[in-house]
Amino acid sequence: MPESVALIIIFGLFFLLLLAGQQISTVLLATGIVGVFLYGGSGALTGILQLEPYTRVASYALTTIPLFILMAEFIMYSDIVKYLYHMLFKVSKGKPGILGVFTILLGGFLGAVSGSASAISAALGQISVPELRKHGYNENLAGAVAASAGSLATLIPPSIGLIIYGAITQTPVGQLFMASVIPGILTIGVLVICTLFFYHRSKASVDPRVLTSSVREEAAAIEETAHAEEDIPTSKFVISLIASLFIMGSVFIGIYTGIFTPTEAGGVGAAISLIAAICLGKVNVAFIKNSLRSTVRITCMVMMIMIGAQVFAKFISLSMIPRKLIALLEPLAGTPILVIVLLLITYFILFMFVEGAAVLLMAVPVTLPIAQMIGLDAIEFGMLIGVVGAAGLLTPPVGMCVYAVAGVTKTPIDRLFRYSTIFAVMICVIVVPLLLIFPQLITWLPDTMSQ
């Protein structure tokens, strides 16, 4: 079969399965099987299916994933996030601008312990948007703030995306975690500035005389909830604050100083989260069952994506697509900045349609050799992908984080995109050039890590 026909069949099948709504793991696995068969025959396909699924998931680096997911589930079901949020509401009375800033910081924190950008955006849409509206944010800006906060999951350590990238590229996960700290802070800073700017431009006061009946009911429900939350014991706020500080300390300081490996840090973080849940009185049979069930479900989903991506990567290798792309781009090697821009635009478009882990597993095996050809190492390239990924999740036509918030808040998607697209553009215009001009922003912390 001519090679061009084989590629048309394979990528036609890929997009057909995507349009049919199949899970990304199914899309990658089915497309990879067809591709390997067309390029290598039944013998190559049999050998790959016998060995690759096991070798891909039987990796020590991937033991980090279930532990961090378990930590995230304990945090979610123990209501630590809710208590932190309401503590800030009490502290920031009269200063509603701080609440938008806290939403961004909360998105970074949740991104560090969950890794699913759309899930975090949906959670913030439920938790944060009503409170932001109550304190003077208009509906569209509040939703965009929640979506932009959720997009940080692609970048803030210890995100699952970084762990997967490390497994693909054989890069130490601890170094990736540390490398993403400064880019993450820069991205948060840009989002914070955008949030404050738009808040002060579009303050919205709630006037009962002009509210529709549905908004009146929503405002009354929010006010009633706020009064009920005033009875939350101070001890719950203190426990939640201490637990969150210890969790972040065990992950960041523990890994940076070499006290913990990433896997050990995930285990310690999960243990601290469980102890905090016990102190908050949240642990019961349902708590344990729901946490373990969610951990197993999400871990299996990630592992299935990785198996599918491994088979798909074998097809990519057999087709020699990376070598052909390198040869195609070789005339541009004299202007590496142009190659970098082309690669980042490609990732930006991919993240507009597909979420984190799947994009990395599909594209990194193809694009990393090109990035290395022009002088980027795996860590620098990974951080640039993370920043662009956060922006891609906020832009139309299919910004995953924006759709997640629109789904839970019932806000028209086009209104959210008016703000979120500007947030995304500012990330790309400010953070990406800074990282390209000053690569030390990425490499400084990994270079100073305790070995």
Q: Is the peptide bond before 396 cis (omega within 30 degrees of 0)?
A: no
DSSP string, 341-383: HHHHHHHHHHHHHS-HHHHHHHHHHHHHHHHHHTT--HHHHHH
Q: How far apart are CA 275 and CA 430, in angstroms?
A: 40
Scored b (16 or more CB within 10 A) or e, 51-69 reads ebbeebbeeebbebbbbbb
pLDDT at 263: 84
The candidate with the shortest Cα–Cα distance to 71, out of 354, 257, 260, is: 260
DSSP character at residue 180:
T
Domain spans in the chain, listed from the N-terminal domain onward: 1-58, 60-297
pLDDT at 220: 52
Contact present, 39 and 4 (Cβ < 8 Å): no
Q: How far apart are CA 377 and CA 357, in angstroms?
A: 20
Up-side HSE of residue 357: CA atoms within 13 Å toward CB?
28
DSSP character at residue 62:
G
Torsion angle (degrees, nearest 10) of CA 106, 110, 113, 116: -150
| Mean pLDDT per 10-residue segment, the chain (451 residues) | 77 82 79 86 84 78 80 82 74 71 79 63 77 80 89 76 82 86 92 90 53 48 50 83 84 81 86 92 92 86 79 78 70 80 85 70 82 87 89 80 84 88 93 92 83 52
Tokens of 432: 């990406």
Contact present, 191 and 394 (Cβ < 8 Å): no
CB atoms within 10 A of CB 385: 29
pLDDT at 51: 80
Tokens of 17: 């399965």
User: What's the burial of 26, exposed, middle or buried (CB within 10 Å: 0-12/13-18/19+)?
Assistant: middle
Q: Is the peptide bond before 262 cis (omega within 30 degrees of 0)?
A: no
Of all helices (H) and strands (E), which one includes residue 416? helix 413-426
- Kindly report whether the global pTM for this prediction surpasses the value 0.75: no
- Any long-range contacts for 15-18 (C-beta under 8 Å, 24+ apart)? none
Q: How far apart are CA 219 and CA 204, in angstroms?
A: 13
pLDDT at 204: 45
pLDDT at 20: 82
The SS3 assignment for 23 reads coil
CA 14 centroid distance within chain: 24
Q: How far apart are CA 128 and CA 145, in angstroms?
A: 9
Tokens of 433: 């050039």
pLDDT at 57: 80
Position of tokens 């069952």?
289
pLDDT at 212: 47
